[in-house]
C-alpha cells in the first residue's frame, strides 16, 4: 500500500503537468505496471492526494510523566500484568516513598492510583513487546504411578477452606527433555485460601527432603498447617509421609492421576513463580541447589508481600461457553490480614514486618540471585566459574528501572543464547533454471499473472511443474513487481529534479519583468 501510494503521487504529479503526448506515454507505462483499467488510471492520476486531517480528540490525561512512573512501578513489581499492578500500585507507591526510592507530586500520585487496568496494559503494550520479545512457553510433564493409600480430592471439593490447606508439587530443572541423572527440584507449596506460596530447593526427589521442607515451612507459615494435597508421585505416596501426617494431625489428600487441574492452585504457581524466577535452565549438584535455595529465600517475601494474584470467585457453564469471575487482585499478605481465623497478634507482626521491607531492595537481591543461578545453569551442572564482577549498587539499580524495558529481557535466568543467522536454503529452488525465462515473460508482458506463468511452465516442463509451486511463484512475482515500482518511483523523482533544475536555469537567463517595462516606457 505504501509503495502504491508513492507511485501514484510521483507519477500523478508528472502526469498532470505533462503535455498530451507525454501523458499518453506515462499512462501506458502506469497501466502496464499496475494493471489498472485505463479510465480508472486516468482518474487516479488526475486526482491530487489530499493530506489526512487529524481529528481533534480528548485531552491527554496520562502524559509522559505518568508513563515513566508506570514503567518504574511495573519494573519494581517484576513485570506483572495490568490487573495485578493496578491492585499493587497504592502499596508500592507508599513503600517506595517511605524508603526514599520515589518522589511523586500529589497530582501524579492521584492519577496513578485512578488509572485502570486496561489503560495500564495499553500504555505498557510497546514496552511489554520489546521486553518480552523472543519468549516461548514450555509444557510440563504428567503424573506418575497411582497410589490408593490416601483419599482423592478434586478441584471442586475445596469449598473455601481455612488458611492452612496447601497444595504441593515438584518442578524439575532439567533444561528441557530429561535424559538421565538427578536434577535440582523446586518444592512448591501454595495455600488455597490466601495464595501464600513457599518454594524450596532440593537436589533430587526424596521423601526425607519432603519431610524436612514441610517441617521448615510449617514453622515459617503465619497460620497453622492443616492439610497437604499432592499428586501421585512416589516422593509423596509413601509410608514416611503418611505416618508423619497422621502423627501431626495434617490431613493428607491426593489428586487424580493424569488430572493436573485437580491441583490448579499450585500448578499455576509453577509457571508464574518458579519458571518466572528460575527459568528453564539445567541445574544439577549441591552448589546449584544452594544457589537456588538462596533465590527462593529472598523471593518468598517479595512474592507473598508485594505480588498480587487472582482468585477464582465463580465459574458457570452455558453450553460450550464457560464464564469465570475473579475477585479483585490481592497479595497473599492482604488475604491473610483479612482472614478472621488469623490471630491479631500475628497480624500485627506481619504489618510491622511489611513496613520494614523495601520492595526495590528485595527485587535487587532477586536479580543478583538470578545471576548466580544463570551462571550455574550455563556451566552445565559443573561448579560455576568465579567472577570478578562487582555488585550493582541499589541506587544504580533503581535509576536503571526507567529504561530497563529498552534492553528487552533483563532477567539473567531467561537470557537466550545467540543464534547463527539462517542464510541458507533448506529446500531446492524450483525456479532456479527457469527464472530467466520467467523474467523474459514478465518484461514482455507486464500484465501477465502468476497463474498464467504457472500454466506455461507446466506445459513447458510437466515433469518439473505440476501447479503445486503456484504460491511460491506468486510471491516471487509480487517481489519483482514491487522492485519495479520502486525503480520507477526513483527514476521519476530523479527526472523531476532534473526538470526543476533546468527550469530554474532558464528563469535566471530571462530578463526580469521590471527591465522590460522600463524599456517600453522610454520608447514611448
Category of 198 on φ-ψ map: left (φ > 0), alpha (ψ -120 to 50) or beta: beta
Considering the domain architecture, whether residues 373 and 494 belong to the same structural domain is answered as no
Range of the domain at 480: 431-498
Q: Which of 94, 58, 6, 112 is nearest to 359 (CA)?
A: 94
Q: What is the pLDDT of residue 388?
A: 44
Residue 496, φ and ψ in degrees, nearest 5: -65, -40
Considering the domain architecture, whether residues 478 and 404 belong to the same structural domain is answered as no
Residue 136: burial class (beta carbons within 10 Å; 0-12, 13-18, 19+): exposed
Considering the domain architecture, whether residues 237 and 342 belong to the same structural domain is answered as yes
- Is 226 among the domain residues? yes
Q: Count the Cβ atoms, other than its own, within 10 Å of residue 67.
A: 13
Q: What is the pLDDT of residue 516?
A: 44
Q: Which helix (H) or strand (E) holds 146?
A: none
Q: Which helix (H) or strand (E) holds 270?
A: none
User: In order along the chain (524 residues), what is the average pLDDT of each group of 10 residues?
Assistant: 71 82 84 84 77 62 86 90 91 90 89 91 88 60 50 85 93 78 89 93 89 92 93 85 90 88 89 89 89 92 92 87 90 94 94 93 91 85 53 84 85 73 78 88 89 88 82 90 87 71 60 44 36
Q: What is the pLDDT of residue 521?
A: 35
Q: Could you write out the three-class secondary structure of 22-78?
A: HHHHHHHHHHHHHCCCHHHHHHHHHCCCCCCCCCCCCCCCCCHHHHHHHHHHHHHCC
Considering the domain architecture, whether residues 255 and 342 belong to the same structural domain is answered as yes
Question: Which ranges in 379-449 belong to alpha helices (H)?
Answer: 394-400, 435-444
Please report the DSSP string for 470-488 in residue order.
Answer: HHHHHHHHHHHHHHHHHHH
Q: What is the pLDDT of residue 227?
A: 93
Q: What is the pLDDT of residue 508?
A: 60
Considering the domain architecture, whether residues 342 and 246 belong to the same structural domain is answered as yes
Considering the domain architecture, whether residues 409 and 472 belong to the same structural domain is answered as no
- Is 312 among the domain residues? no
- Is 269 among the domain residues? yes
- Is 91 among the domain residues? no
Considering the domain architecture, whether residues 41 and 181 belong to the same structural domain is answered as no
Cβ contacts of residue 344 below 8 Å, gap of 6+? none
Q: Count the Cβ atoms, other than its own, within 10 Å of residue 90.
A: 12
Count up the domains in the chain and report the number: 3
Q: What is the pLDDT of residue 343?
A: 93
With contact defined as beta carbons under 8 Å apart, do 262 and 155 qualify? Answer: yes
pTM of the model: 0.63
Cβ contacts of residue 117 below 8 Å, gap of 6+? 81, 82, 83, 85, 86
With contact defined as beta carbons under 8 Å apart, do 15 and 23 qualify? Answer: yes
Amino acid at each position: 500500500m505504501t509503495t502504491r501510494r508513492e507511485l501514484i503521487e510521483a507519477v500523478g504529479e508528472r502526469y498532470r503537468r505533462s503535455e498530451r503526448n507525454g501523458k499518453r506515454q506515462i499512462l501506458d507505462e502506469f497501466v502496464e505496471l499496475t494493471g489498472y483499467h485505463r479510465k480508472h488510471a486516468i482518474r487516479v492520476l488526475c486526482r491530487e492526494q489530499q493530506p489526512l486531517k487529524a481529528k481533534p480528540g480528548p485531552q491527554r490525561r496520562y502524559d509522559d510523566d505518568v508513563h515513566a512512573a508506570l514503567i518504574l512501578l511495573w519494573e519494581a513489581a517484576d513485570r506483572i500484568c495490568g490487573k495485578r499492578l493496578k491492585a499493587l500500585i497504592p502499596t508500592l507507591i507508599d513503600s517506595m516513598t517511605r524508603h526514599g526510592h520515589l518522589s511523586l507530586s500529589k497530582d501524579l500520585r492521584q492519577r496513578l492510583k485512578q488509572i485502570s487496568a486496561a489503560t495500564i496494559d495499553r500504555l505498557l503494550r510497546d514496552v511489554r513487546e520489546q521486553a518480552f520479545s523472543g519468549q516461548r512457553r514450555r509444557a510440563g510433564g504428567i503424573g506418575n504411578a497411582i497410589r490408593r493409600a490416601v483419599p482423592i480430592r478434586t478441584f471442586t471439593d475445596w469449598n473455601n477452606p481455612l488458611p492452612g490447606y496447601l497444595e504441593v508439587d515438584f518442578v524439575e530443572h532439567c533444561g528441557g527433555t530429561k535424559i538421565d541423572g538427578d536434577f535440582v527440584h523446586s518444592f512448591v507449596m501454595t495455600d488455597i485460601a490466601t495464595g501464600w506460596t513457599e518454594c524450596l530447593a532440593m537436589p533430587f526427589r526424596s521423601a526425607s527432603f519432603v519431610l524436612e521442607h514441610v517441617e521448615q515451612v510449617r514453622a515459617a507459615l503465619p497460620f497453622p498447617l492443616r492439610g497437604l494435597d499432592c499428586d501421585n508421585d512416589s516422593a509423596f505416596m509413601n509410608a514416611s509421609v503418611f505416618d508423619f501426617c497422621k502423627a501431626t494431625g495434617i490431613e493428607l489428600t491426593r489428586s487424580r492421576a493424569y488430572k493436573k487441574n485437580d491441583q490448579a492452585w499450585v500448578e499455576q504457581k509453577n509457571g508464574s513463580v518458579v519458571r518466572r524466577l528460575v527459568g528453564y535452565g539445567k541445574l544439577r549438584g549441591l552448589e546449584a541447589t544452594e544457589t537456588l535455595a538462596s533465590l527462593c529465600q529472598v523471593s518468598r517475601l517479595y512474592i507473598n508481600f508485594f505480588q498480587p494474584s487472582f482468585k477464582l470467585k465463580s465459574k458457570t457453564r452455558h453450553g460450550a461457553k464457560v464464564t469465570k469471575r475473579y475477585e479483585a487482585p490481592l497479595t497473599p499478605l492482604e488475604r491473610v490480614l483479612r482472614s478472621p481465623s488469623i490471630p491479631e497478634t500475628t497480624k500485627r507482626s506481619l504489618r510491622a514486618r511489611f513496613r520494614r521491607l523495601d520492595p526495590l531492595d528485595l527485587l535487587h537481591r532477586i536479580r543478583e540471585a538470578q545471576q548466580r543461578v544463570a551462571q550455574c545453569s550455563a556451566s552445565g551442572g559443573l561448579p560455576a566459574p568465579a567472577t570478578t564482577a562487582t555488585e550493582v549498587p541499589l541506587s544504580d539499580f533503581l535509576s536503571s528501572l526507567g529504561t530497563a524495558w529498552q534492553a528487552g529481557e533483563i532477567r539473567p535466568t531467561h537470557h537466550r543464547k545467540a543464534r547463527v543467522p539462517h542464510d541458507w536454503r533448506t529446500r531446492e529452488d524450483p525456479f532456479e533454471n527457469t527464472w530467466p525465462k520467467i523474467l523474459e515473460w514478465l518484461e514482455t508482458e507486464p500484465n501477465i499473472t502468476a497463474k498464467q506463468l504457472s500454466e506455461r511452465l507446466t506445459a513447458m516442463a510437466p515433469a518439473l511443474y505440476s501447479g503445486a509451486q503456484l504460491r511460491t511463484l506468486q510471491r516471487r512475482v509480487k517481489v519483482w513487481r514491487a522492485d519495479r515500482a520502486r525503480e520507477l518511483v526513483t527514476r521519476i523523482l530523479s527526472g523531476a529534479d532534473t526538470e526543476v533544475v533546468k527550469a530554474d536555469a532558464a528563469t535566471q537567463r530571462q530578463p526580469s519583468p521590471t527591465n522590460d517595462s522600463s524599456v517600453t516606457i522610454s520608447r514611448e
